[in-house]
Amino acid sequence: MRIGTLVLRLVVGGVFVGHGLQKLTGAFGGPGLEGTEQMMEKTGMTPAARNARAVALTETAGGAAIALGAATPLAAGGLIATMLVATQKVHWRNGFWNTKGGWEFNAVLITALTAIAADGPGKLSVDAIRGRKRGGLRGALTALAVGAAGAVGVVQLAKGAQELAAEEHSAAEARSADGSARDAAL
């Protein structure tokens, strides 16, 4: 049995559960959903409420799945997606080191999740009980592909929502201006 994989799964999964609960409920001094929505709004991740719930639930449920060794490549992929989006939207511009708000911690978590997916969840896991022994290169590539696709998809959906909101705002302003011009003409 690989004790190292079990320890890594429990720690990494536990960290994600904690971060997810911070966002979801305000546990451990976190911002809760309201604060997470504000963060989403500031980073252009609209609609903010949907994205706040999505990241909070992904981190909580995905972290629990990693800790339990359940649906390991998929859970790792979902969590990798959250780290890639956080890196792009918040941390990249601050450089590498975490002391300056950089992406160091995100890189470590992405690497740990990829390693867990590559090694498989181990014998003491839900996946092993269910007879699923995904791991190796296929497990790692699955996690990375799911993570990359998820991150690109979420960012593109937010960009599309921003563009749609801007178009709706412009159309509303045009209707308002038309109405004001008609009223002035009367």
pTM of the predicted model over 0.95? no
* Total number of residues shown for the chain: 186
pLDDT tens per residue across span 128-171: 999 877 688 999 999 999 999 999 999 999 998 888 887 887 87
DSSP assignment of 44-100 equals T-SSHHHHHHHHHHHHHHHHHHHHHT-SHHHHHHHHHHHHHHHIIIIIGGG-S-GGG
Mean pLDDT (the chain) is: 92
Asked whether 19 and 79 are in contact (CB, 8 A), the reply is no
